[in-house]
Structure 1
């Protein structure tokens, strides 16, 4: 009996060591393609210095219904870094006369007035969001830590399919008053989802979709990633998630105001 218990303990120990070793040795990048429906209530349109809201006769009818962007996850052992491609701001200037536009709209793209990245503790289901705010020639870096929410309401199905070369299982999950379809694989030795609230108990989400948004992994590339690349800067000023949100929104509001003062993000009427 003692021998059997000893063998069982040894087997469990070796299994845990093997799992830990696999996690420590795995590194690479996952590239997602994403599409989200545009929330018109968050689109800022300014005409003659006044903000125009959806429903107004002056609100443009040609705002795109969706926007597309890329999302990249770099991972090395138990740590990861999530970065979003795109997401800048677009200025459209239209000169109007009494009969309508006097010329074609002029489009100008601007980078956001801050840099933002999310770092992940893949072993302990935690995130660190790092925000670097640029002002004049100086910059200040902040960080906010938060846990990854525990999964709730997951309904697993028997369906499977291949995504980016990995066998994925299908689940449906209620979230934001919708039912999301989630495809995840357990063939990678960590847990992750591009939508934090849709993170499974175990596994990596390679695709998810709803009426409002879609994410799909285009490529999973296992290759060396420097450990330092997926670690947050140690000198960042620590704040709460709510304080970080306020800093982000204030920085955006100040940037929009400067653009309007300089002739940006507005429709000009002669």
Structure 2
């Protein structure tokens, strides 16, 4: 008689283990307001700020949308994006093209758009230690250099649990609200996965995986959680990366950005 409950418990344990993939990928749909301070407009080799009196009247996007992925295996994970975002956008206009000139007009043929970063940025997470490592890869001529730094996990405090729940991507999530940098976020997280993670590090709960974030500034929503065979070594930082401080890495990125802007302006001037 006592064997039936034990069998039932065994079946339940097997189902729970199946529901918790040891490796796989979470796909997030992301929407963020555009930070115009990260955009540049270059006119005849001179850089102006969007919205300034010298800037041409062009339509700038208010939001950007993209896909973000979290690939995990064992105690490690890596964030990836669909490649359509990041970096700065440089819009170049010939000096004689008026504000009304668009990309399709006669003057627009002399306008050029440049997007992206002059480097590759990767983010790795040690799920056991709750440690984030940023890796920047810069390719210049035939030389490739990797730099890495550890980023502290500064969790937002003052989480308010609502007691409400809903399913996201097949997993039951709990609702909480938390204030961070004067913005109130609604966070939905599940404890049905065997690790703790959030696509926004500061909005990481003490335990659980965040599958949805909502605020006036940005929104993340997990649309798919797929079990996949992922080698743990593929979601760990490269061993050849040079260790630097966060401030040193920021300077390395800034120099790469400055070099790219200078190259773009020189190319534009040479064409004209």
If the length of structure 2 is used for normalisation, what is the TM-score? Answer: 0.82
- Most deviating of 198-207 and 95-104: 95-104
Match of 1:87 in 2: 85
Cα separation, partners in 2 of 1:252 and 1:98, compared to 1, 3 Å: closer
* Equivalent position of 1:39 in the other structure: 35
2:237 maps to 232
Aligned to 1:55: 51
2:246 equivalent among 241, 251, 256: 241
1:103 paired with 2:107, answer yes
Listed one character per residue, the Cα deviations across residues 209-263 of structure 1 (whole Å, up to 9, x for unaligned) are 1111111111110121111111111111000112111111211111111111111
Normalising by the residue count of structure 1, what TM-score does the alignment of the two structures yield? 0.83
What is residue 256 of structure 2 aligned with on the other side? 251
Shift of 1:164: 0.9
Q: Which aligned pairs between 1:188-267 and structure 2 lie closer than 5 A? A: 188-263=193-268
Q: C-alpha distance in 2, partners of 1:159/1:208?
A: 15
Residue of structure 1 in register with 2:62 after alignment: 65
For 2:179 and 2:215, how far apart are their aligned partners in 1? 10
Unaligned ranges ≥5, structure 2? 1-13
- Contact persistence 1:45–1:51 (CA under 8 A): yes
Q: What is the RMSD of the two structures over their aligned residues, measured on CA atoms?
A: 2.5
Q: Paired residue for 2:117, among 99, 112, 122? A: 112
CA contact (8 A) 1:142 1:238 kept: yes
Cα deviation per residue 1:160-180 (whole Å; 9 max; x = unaligned)?
111111111111110121101
Unpaired runs of 5+ residues, structure 1, are: 1-17
- Mapped contact 2:119–2:138 kept (Cα < 8 A): yes
